[in-house]
A = this chain, B = another copy of it.
Amino acid sequence: MAIYFQFPFCHQVCKHNEDKTSTFAEILKFMEQKRTEVNELGEFGLIKHLTHSFENKNATSIKGVGDDAAIIDAGDDYLVVSTDLLMENIHFDLTYAPLKHVGYKAVVVNLSDIYSMNAIPQQITFSLAFSNRFSVEALEELYAGVKLACDHYNVDLVGGDTTSSLKGLLLSVTAIGRVPKSQVVYRNTAQVNDAICVTGDLGGAYLGLQLLEREKQVFLANPNMQPQFDNNTSLIKKLLKPEARKDIIEALAKADILPTSMMDISDGLSSELMHICAQSNVGCTIYEEQIPIFEDTYNQAIQFEIDPLNCALSGGDEYELLFTVHPDELEKVLDIEGVSHIGNVRPASVGKHIVTKGGNQYELKALGWTHF
């Protein structure tokens, strides 16, 4: 029995509600009978379970829970709204992440969701809760990072909330973007035979995290040890100060290419590709040799005795874009610097596969990040 329902007099309050569906005594009884753990459902299953009974009532609510961002009607344009919670010691570790980077990254990860709908972010709200461990100077560093991101991405800080927490730092960012109605790109509209593309390179942020965690342990054991990064700071930078792919969205617009579906790779390539396939009701084949892995990433993975391909398929926190285009557009897309063609959309009946360098075909598994 969870402690938060132990107060026996609360049913007196519940009785005064207009809502007759449950008195507190009934809730109490119910809670004693049953306790389902959240990890039985997983993150996406949980959200689906908790929100399936909600129905949109306003004509201005174009798209709700289920894509990278929500969509709201705004005349000729759609407004695209995305929100993220970032918790200390779950999403960031202040042992090695400077507060300025934490502020920068908190903004960037939200902007990435806006870009992945093919929209241009214009506003953010930034809320924080912090314990008395944080001084004004520490918060100034955090906001310096927020400002750097706002300036770099041409976004305005228009609101937020500030409160105390009993322990640790907690950030909540909501980003708002804008896109002409005809240009919005969803994740459920990939078509069979479309080319599957990704931007940048994959797996670096995951290895950056492994490096920092290793050196953190060394440091905790002996604070006088100097860290060993072996010139791998590019991996660490990818983790601590990622960028959203504004440049790609601009290049696609300039080349007059509208992806048929798109999302960002915050939870890992495999996991995100499986979302696109499931929601578009299609399958896919991707090819190991076409997945972009940088030399630094490859070498560090080998040093850690991890398969570099697994880093690229399952490593989260990347913020690269995964998108599909009509096969006729492929040549034009590949003229954009930093875009790789990794495979093709197939009929759902064919399934979802990866073909290795050795020519073997395996079923693609979602090994994305899970918070639970």
Q: Hey, which bits of chain A sit against chain B, CB under 8 A?
A: 2-10, 12-17, 19, 21-22, 24, 27, 30-31, 34-38, 40-41, 43, 46-47, 49-51, 53-54, 56-58, 60-61, 63-65, 69-72, 74-77, 79, 81-85, 87, 89-91, 94-101, 122-123, 125, 127-130, 132-141, 143-144, 147-148, 150, 154-168, 170, 172, 174, 176, 178, 215-216, 219, 223, 226-227, 229, 233-234, 236-237, 240-241, 371-372
Contact = CB atoms under 8 A, between A and B. Distances in A.
A98 B138 contact: no
A24 to B, nearest CB: 6
A156 B54 contact: yes
A132 B46 CA distance: 14
Contact of A65 (B81, B136, B157, B229): B157
Contacts of A2: 133-135, 138
A83 B137 contact: no
A167 B164 contact: no
A196 to B, nearest CB: 26
Given A30-B137, A85-B127, A237-B16, A100 B161 contact: no
Given A60-B122, A139-B46, A139-B50, A163 B87 contact: yes
Task: List 4 tightest A-B contacts by C-beta distance, closest first.
Answer: A75-B75, A4-B94, A70-B158, A9-B227
B72 A79 contact: yes
Given A138-B2, A163-B91, A164-B372, A83 B227 contact: no
B170 A57 contact: no
Nearest to A178: B60
Contacts of A125: 70, 81, 83, 174
User: Could you say which of A56, A101, A132, A172 has the most chain B C-beta atoms within 10 Å of its C-beta?
Assistant: A172
24 contacts: A2-B134, A9-B215, A9-B229, A10-B98, A13-B236, A41-B136, A43-B162, A46-B139, A47-B162, A51-B157, A57-B154, A61-B122, A64-B158, A65-B157, A70-B125, A74-B77, A79-B79, A82-B159, A85-B127, A85-B172, A90-B166, A164-B372, A167-B167, A172-B172
B163 A85 contact: yes
Given A31-B137, A95-B7, A54 B229 contact: no
Contacts of A372: 164
Contacts of A156: 54, 56-58, 61, 64
A72 B176 contact: yes
B12 A98 contact: no
Contact of A54 (B49, B64, B157): B157
A170 to B, nearest CB: 6
B174 A227 contact: no
Nearest to A62: B158
Given A5-B98, A37-B135, 20 more contacts: A2-B133, A9-B96, A13-B98, A13-B101, A13-B240, A17-B241, A31-B138, A34-B137, A46-B136, A54-B147, A58-B122, A63-B158, A64-B158, A65-B159, A72-B176, A83-B125, A83-B127, A83-B161, A84-B127, A174-B174
